[in-house]
Structure 1
Amino acid sequence: MAAGSGEIWFYHLERSTLDQVLPELLDKTLQRGWRARIRVADPDRRAEIDDTLWSWRADSFLAHGQADQPHAARQPILLTAGTENPNASQALFIVDGSDMTVTEEFERCFIIFDGRDEAALQTARDRWKALKGQGANLAYWKQSDEGRWEKAA
């Protein structure tokens, strides 16, 4: 993502898991009236996220689909490994070290990484430095001791 584009928010997971945080962020995104894409490189992890979104809460789910399935353009949330944007999403969620290219068309990009994984932490640091050097509009979020998200940079 280049300077002058939308916001890029880094979410540093320390106390919660992706499966706990991602549905909450997606729900807030939909409440904002935006569509979302989740870029996940690993097909097994994509299937896990798919299951999580269908069973997010006992009384609720997050409607979504896969980019390679019919009617992808109609989905409010789309899971994909690629860079295409068939559902015209305003929000892009990048998880598990997935591809960072083609992010300029989004209002907000969320980079969610596990701070307990040294490789993921280093990748996030490298991404932050590179994007900062390009003048990107960045924010860094971490969890407080009480589990709330706090903007740290």
Structure 2
Amino acid sequence: MLRAMKRVDFYHLLQWPLEQALPPLLGKVLDSGQRAVVLTSSRPRAEALSAVLWTFKPEAWLPHGTPGDGFDADQPVWISDTDDRPNGAGILLLTDGMTSQRLAEYDRCLDLFDGRDDSAVQAARQRWVGCRDAGFELHYWQQTERGGWTEKASANTTSGG
């Protein structure tokens, strides 16, 4: 049985920490009409990222929730340390080296890793190989000096990359 190829994008953070890179990426997800799940390493980390989304810009905020907030199914962005998807999200953002057993349930996954941490880079390479071998379409994005993104590699794409 053939399954639709899902896409995993690896985001190599070089200039900004996760706390700065995450809000603009989530903004793009929401602007596209999608919902997202952000998978973190711990409940305190989920709460810390939630606080960032409330305060990253005085004139803007991103609607989101965590397990302590309730209304799980209604949250456009769900931030949690458990591999669940109560809001029916199509986009998964992996942080802190997290992995998901539910990757194929999402339309797209963004794996964000700290390029200044050698062990995080090595772990991301291992995740890339695992996703490549599982048949996911892969794209590798490297952060530019201004905080933008440049695609540096791809695999399993219809164009052959």
Instruction: Give the TM bin, normalised by the shorter chain.
Output: over 0.9
In 2, the alpha carbon distance for the partners of 1:4 and 1:129 equals: 19
Q: 1:51 to 1:146 in 2, by over 3 A?
A: closer
Which residue does 1:32 correspond to in 2?
A: 32
Which residue does 1:104 correspond to in 2?
A: 104
Give the conservation status (yes or no) of the 8 Å contact 1:83–1:101.
yes
Q: 1:145 to 1:56 in 2, by over 3 A?
A: closer
Give the conservation status (yes or no) of the 8 Å contact 2:141–2:150.
yes
In 2, the alpha carbon distance for the partners of 1:146 and 1:60 equals: 21
> Which sits farther off after the overlay, 64-73 or 95-104?
64-73
Which residue does 1:59 correspond to in 2?
A: 59
In 2, the alpha carbon distance for the partners of 1:83 and 1:131 equals: 17
Higher relative CO (CA 8 A, sep ≥ 6), structure 1 or 2? 1
Number of equivalenced pairs = 151
In 2, the alpha carbon distance for the partners of 1:108 and 1:120 equals: 21
The TM-score with structure 1 as length reference comes to 0.92
Q: State the AA in 1 paired with 2:14.
A: E
The TM-score with structure 2 as length reference comes to 0.88
Give the conservation status (yes or no) of the 8 Å contact 1:41–1:99.
no
Same amino acid, percent of matched pairs: 34
Give the conservation status (yes or no) of the 8 Å contact 1:95–1:113.
yes
C-alpha root-mean-square deviation of aligned residues, in Å?
1.4
User: Where in structure 2 are there 5+ consecutive unaligned residues?
Assistant: 154-161
In 1, the alpha carbon distance for the partners of 2:39 and 2:126 equals: 19
Give the conservation status (yes or no) of the 8 Å contact 1:6–1:107.
yes
In 2, the alpha carbon distance for the partners of 1:125 and 1:134 equals: 14
Which residue does 1:47 correspond to in 2?
A: 47
> Which sits farther off after the overlay, 105-114 or 77-86?
77-86
Q: State the AA in 1 paired with 2:117.
A: D
User: Where in structure 1 are there 5+ consecutive unaligned residues?
Assistant: none
Q: State the AA in 2 paired with 1:82.
A: T
> Which sits farther off after the overlay, 141-150 or 83-92?
141-150
1:1-153 pair list within 5 angstroms: 4-153=4-153
